[in-house]
Structure 1
């Protein structure tokens, strides 16, 4: 099994889309981490990929080892209205067998280094609870909880709370 020091962090590309989709679909089908409820195809995820060019505030980084994508991190548009342009929403997803190995830390390190020279003021993240690993990761990167949406998502026959986190940039 590859450890985190053997993973290479790089910008995501079109060639990664199948593996990125497979990772995301695991969370769609198996967890409450995302409130999407239907798996998507790589073709359906192309607009998502296009929204994360290799420059600017909306970025995509992947962790790769031996040709396999182990995870990815993104900074995305926070809200569509122009006054939100200095804010981003971040997320990190690891392959099911890559969690707990430091991959998320490597990805967020690269992401926040890339965002440091952007005209940004805040990063936000939403974490469906419970998710102690994600709360720990975000806290380690300077996020603090700034809100809680109670019972805001319904998946797997129950309601889930979402904690909102923010970090200055």
Structure 2
């Protein structure tokens, strides 16, 4: 079941996020984050404008998806950065696919015209997921992040709503 996240879901959201840090594939955070450090991030999400969704399976949060305002200036108000994270025990169960499908179906009603995703170039599973939904490569930032002493590239994927 996909639903809007509540404050009670934040610890599970953070737990899923923190499990992605050691793999150095999905986030530039190098150390676990805390619930307290993510309160402002959480409260910036609203169901009617910038949703934060969770997938609940058997009473447990297994994945989440966020829409984040892009760049913080009014001219970009119709553009969002999207993120999706899945609990390790739920990989390969198509939860990210379900969330991304819902995001694309909901974007117009959220007054969103453009979605962008920032993905490390070595994270081929995520790149493949977004390209499956007709995201195109809009940018490439070489050696922009250092993860465990290795310089990593960042791919910027984007898609405008109403275009495939």
5+ unaligned residues in a row in structure 2: which ranges? none
**Given that residues 63 and 70 in structure 1 are in contact (C-alpha distance below 8 angstroms), is that contact kept between their aligned partners in structure 2?**
yes
| Secondary structure of 1:45 counterpart | helix
TM-score (structure 2 length as normaliser) = 0.93
Following superposition, which runs of at least 4 residues in structure 1 exceed 3 angstroms of deviation? none
Q: CA deviation at 1:146?
A: 1.2
Paired position in structure 2 for 1:82: 74
5+ unaligned residues in a row in structure 1: which ranges? 1-7
Q: In 1, Cα distance between the equivalents of 2:111 and 2:10?
A: 28
**Given that residues 74 and 111 in structure 1 are in contact (C-alpha distance below 8 angstroms), is that contact kept between their aligned partners in structure 2?**
no
- The within-5 A match list for 1:84-163 is 84-163=76-155
**Given that residues 10 and 61 in structure 1 are in contact (C-alpha distance below 8 angstroms), is that contact kept between their aligned partners in structure 2?**
yes
Paired position in structure 1 for 2:13: 20
Alignment RMSD, CA only? Answer: 1.2
**Given that residues 32 and 155 in structure 1 are in contact (C-alpha distance below 8 angstroms), is that contact kept between their aligned partners in structure 2?**
no
Deviation larger for 111-120 or 32-41 = 111-120
Residue among 27, 31, 36 paired with 2:29: 36
Aligned positions, number: 161
TM-score (structure 1 length as normaliser) = 0.90
Q: In 2, Cα distance between the equivalents of 1:44 and 1:118?
A: 27
Q: CA deviation at 1:149?
A: 0.4
